[in-house]
Structure 1
Amino acid sequence: MKPSPSPLIPSNTSLTLPPSLLPPFSPSVSNLLTANCVAQAMQKIDVQNPNVQVINIKKVGTQDRYRVILSDGTHYIQGMLATQLNQLVADNQLVENAIICLKEFITNVVQDKTVLILLKCEIVSTHPAKIGNPTEVYKADVAAGSSNKPVGGMYDAPPPAPAAGGSSNYSNPYQNQASRSASGGGSAPTGRSGLSSNIIPVSQLNPYQNKWVIKGRITNKGDMRTWNNAKGEGCLFSIDILDASGMDIRGTFFKEDANKWFNVLEVDKVYTFSGGRLKVANPQWNKCKCQHEITFDRSTDIQLCEEDASIQQNIFDFSQIVKLESIEPESIIDIIGVVASISPVTSITAKKTGNELKKCELTVMDDSDAQVNVTLWGKKAETAENEFAGCPVVAFKGLKVSDYGGRSCGTLMSSAILKGPRIPETERIQSWFQNRGANATVKNLSTGGGGAGRVETFESRKTVSAIRNEQLGYNEKPDWLSFKATISFIKKDKEGGPWYPACPNAEEPCRNMCKVISTSDDHWQCEKCNKQYDKCTRRYIFSATFADNTSTCWASMFNDQALALLGGHTADELNEWMQNGDYDKFEKVFDDALFTDWIVKAKVKSELVSEEQRVKTTAYSISPVDYAKESRDLLKAIKGLQ
């Protein structure tokens, strides 16, 4: 393997090493290790990818941290492995006497001694024994009469990077000088520690800093969420912070801190942030540019700042809507367009958690003469009708592309929505919409079926016979369709009634969904929440047939759909009638529902039943036919054929 070149002292440094730190090296050592790199690293001299030997590895206490002793053959220095390198030890790749190449590292000071924090390294080779007879670098330093104490406090940074257009010898991304001007200038507020620190760019943050202050704009604030599991319960929310350099970072608040700050922090306001724990971000859930994220805690101090024009509202990478057809599903994109219409808010039940989810859909169009459906969830869905009334220009950051029904987009917890952003694209889209877009014929990318709860267009509606003719349900994922049909039969003769007994607990984790079992002492036992109740809550479950002029199909119906079909009469109400012998009232509810017309949104999926493949249709939403709207849609469709 080609040995690493000996590092050079930059020409612009005035630092001169004492003779005791520059001993002669034997050829055998210099061929394997980078000469004098330990002393140079300690003195903050640039060292490019030095080769060192690991002469000792030790786990620190009960924590998942490893201390290492690094040698260049003449001196040794103490180091710590970043947690992302622990796997090298676990896999027995990083062992004593191994020679490694330091790709990224930082210097930190602990108890007046410099320690190297290894962020990234590569195994060069193993070696049978320790090379040379290295001595501790601090002893040589003291003998030479120099001081090891840093100038900048707990976190040392090397000299500033050269001006734009110049070259830099610094390969370590964490070793750029913290510049006040890069983050808007000024001094940070005093935190609970009582110490005032300089503001540093988000890019300078790393888990080995004890004190830091950043300044940035909140570009996104997530909904308050709760959890309840075996480890306990609590709440949390997250924010995205963008600084003047264009780097953003995710921060999360938990429990008491979440309650303290949730109603205080506002999107698009500028704050300084100090205090909290830094860790490596999980890119699967965190799409911010910074490779770290912050967990804010009791030490956190946040101060509102005056508006800072040097910090943008957000950083976007817009895709034209018309080009979404060629973008792979599951991709994360940004779009900007006019919100042309807003669907009513609907509710669905999450299959995994049983939680009720609110959702609505926006139809967004842009000057590529195309439109797409964007799904909003939770609080964003509930406030959408008021928030996006009047066809505003809206920028969406971090949408997930879906292939349900052509192309559509959905928001994630990390998605940001900015109404009327202060960017050139806003004026361009607004001008297009006012001059031409409002009356333009645009291409609708969201034309097919889709996920549960989607409000389908008149144009995308199918007939009942399409289930058979188009072989729906045989794909890897379920197929979705909407159709207009008349309900012709309801199967209500199930023993005990067309319902099942459910847990009366309306809170997590049951939410009146989980089935309960009758006990011998006339109580109801719920295995989900492990509690006994005096009574249960009954929920509908039955099958019905829907027919149009092309065909008939069976469809399973659950509580929400049944309540709409049966005029709001609950299963508990009908059960009481049956218990009292009032069968006429029971029958009348079902008779009144027969031969009524409905718009049905259904999921179709093939299932194996008794070793036979059967197509199962499930009605996920039904709504009564609005005959006036239906007539207008028919006239519009006829006009389009002319």
Structure 2
Amino acid sequence: MTSLTIDAIKLIVEGAIDLSPCIQIFFISTFGRNPKQTTLFRLEISDGTHKHKATLPKKYDDYIISEEIKIGSIIKLSEYNYPKSSKTWWITIIRLEIVSTIHEMIGESVSLDADQYCQMDQAAQLAPTSNIGVENLQNSGTLSQTKVLFGVKRPQSSSGVLSIITPIKNLNPFQTRWTIKVRVTMKKEIHQYNKQTGNGRVFSFNIIDNEGTKARVSSFNNMADAHYGNIDIGATYKISGGVVKSANKIYNKLNSGIKITLVLESIVTPCEDDPSIPKNHFSFMPINEILEQRNNSVIDVIGVVICVEPSSTIKRRDGT
């Protein structure tokens, strides 16, 4: 059985630089919006007794996205340092080796708070560490059931999301703090797009809440890659921290009238199935009312097929 280096976190904080310790990934989060920054992912690492915030070089981003490094993984710190600052305290990982990609959590680690730091080093000052938008592996029971989530500090609850659920219909572009609980009704493949403003990748999926309100959620580029494998049709999620905008009715005819974009600060948390959230929602109307609807309206109709004719080519007024 793989073991962790005893008191590795304490020894690193006290100045040891030649340990090559084995530690475990406790949390994973993303940080910041600037694509030119040197670090995209931030970690909390554990020695089985204590845990501590750590930075991960950008060269290891693909390891997290591909889940070669994930919650519970054991890594060996080949090179690191602990630069002390009056504003923040981070263990800076420079080089690492993957010892074990999948492993159960070892021990019951607690954060080293300011008092403990002062006892080890009178000059040390550490801001308390809160959960960072990643579900604790111990809460889910096994690593295989836990998926990496992405987000930043949220003081509202231990899981990093607001405990109050907001209906989709109440979301608007001026809100920055909200959490919705939804079911995924449709998931698209990652799509490559080419525009005058640049090229990129987009991933989108449709959601519905317990009031039957629907919306589309999208993520781009690295965020598309990160979220695609974690979203399943029919599953229930809590989502917070996205950017809300008005939807273009030409391309998005869902009944909420909004679209949500997932960004680095967004948190997507899998939930137990909630039977109050429908798998879909329809508002069927009689066929004789169709002509009364506005052009380009999206409607629900249920009926029996009584005739099928061969396909034919038509010509529109615009010549197409």
Rg larger for: 1
Which of the pair is proportionally richer in helix? 1
**TM-score of the pair, normalised by structure 1:** 0.23
Q: Which has the higher contact order (CA 8 A, sep 6+)?
A: 2
